[in-house]
Amino acid sequence: MLNPLLRDPAALPRLALTLLAVLLLWPGLTLSELNLTLLFDERNAANMGRFLADFWPLAHDHEFLRLLGRATLETLAIATAGMALALLIAIPGALLASRALSLSAVHRGGRPAWWARALRWPVRGVLIVLRSVPEIVWALLFVRAVGLGPTAGVLAIAITYSGMLGKVYAEIFESVDPRPSRALLIAGSPRLAAFAYGVLPNAAAEMLSYTVYRWECAIRASVVMGFVGAGGLGQQIDLSLRMFAGGQVASMLLTFLLLVLLADLLSRLLRARLL
């Protein structure tokens, strides 16, 4: 007989959560028509083997390397320019959506008035709309509007990431110690000065960390958006796949891997130096 004192009091809730997860997962697997046995089919394995065999040798002729270098720089430019535009939208949006600089909260013991909360909801709604549509969908729309090329990728990243950054920045502003900014506001300081001296010093580390992480994500997203005509490495990979140039595809995939590794290394260095 098991000692009652040794029984796990959370066993039944854990079992119930496990059963609930299985019940929710099973319909999803059914609707997705997941069939792992296809991976072990002889014909599929042979087709995959021939496809991978075309990856060797890697393309390395002078003309292709020049094209690869240009596409790589274009990918970096798309990610960086898109993030810069996103910051121009995200920071004002975060300030308007956050209650960190609410004057009504200062005079009500930290709780903003209902009308102040109501005024912030439209801004939060705009940020939700911006981040709810994936960047590849925005890229498809902008390719139709401005044509093929990196402009569509820059605008797609700017719109989607402004919503993501604005939401997270607003939460960071509200999570820091509110006493310095409230003291400045009570003393009659303008809101921007209260933000610069009361909120930003405490929030800068988290903001930088998340911004660098999002820049890494933007590099990967810029490659994916290239498959819909938004420029960069993705567009060149798509063209090489259509021409069955496996060596070129392998070279570009290797370049993309090195690009992500370098971006990760750069983000580590920035965090170590600035945080």
pLDDT, residue 105, reads 53
Structural contact between residues 259 and 75, judged by C-beta atoms closer than 8 angstroms: yes
Residue 30 lies in a domain: no
Poorest-confidence range of 121-125, 131-135, 167-171, 269-273? 269-273
CA distances from 44 to 40, 47, 51, 242 (A): 7, 5, 11, 19
pLDDT, residue 103, reads 61
Q: State how far the Cα of 235 lies from the Cα of 225, in Å rounded to an integer.
A: 8
Residue 8 lies in a domain: no
State the average pLDDT over residues 191-205. Answer: 80
CA distances from 70 to 10, 216, 226 (A): 58, 19, 14
Residue 261 lies in a domain: yes
> pLDDT tier at 274 (50, 70, 90 boundaries)?
low
pLDDT, residue 84, reads 93
**Over 70: is that where the pLDDT of 8 sits?**
no
Type of residue found at 139: A
More confident residue, 181 or 6: 181
Mean pLDDT, the chain, as a whole number?
A: 80
pLDDT, residue 191, reads 77
Residue 122 lies in a domain: yes
State the average pLDDT over residues 168-187. Answer: 80
Residue 105 lies in a domain: yes
What stretches of 133-187 show up as alpha helix (H) in DSSP?
135-146, 150-175, 179-186
Residue 151 lies in a domain: yes
pLDDT, residue 108, reads 55
Domain that holds residue 231: 62-274
State the average pLDDT over residues 215-244. Answer: 83
Percent of the chain residues past pLDDT 70, beyond the cut: 87
Question: How does DSSP classify residue 60?
Answer: -
Number of domains in the chain: 1
Kindly report, residue by residue over 58-73, the tens digit of the pLDDT: 877 888 788 888 888 8
Can you give the CATH number for the domain in which 153 is found?
Answer: 1.10.3720.10
Residue 253 lies in a domain: yes
Q: pTM higher than 0.85 for the full model?
A: no
Kindly report, residue by residue over 100-152, the tens digit of the pLDDT: 666 655 555 556 555 556 666 787 888 888 888 888 888 888 888 888 888 88
**Over 80: is that where the pLDDT of 42 sits?**
no
Residue 35 lies in a domain: no
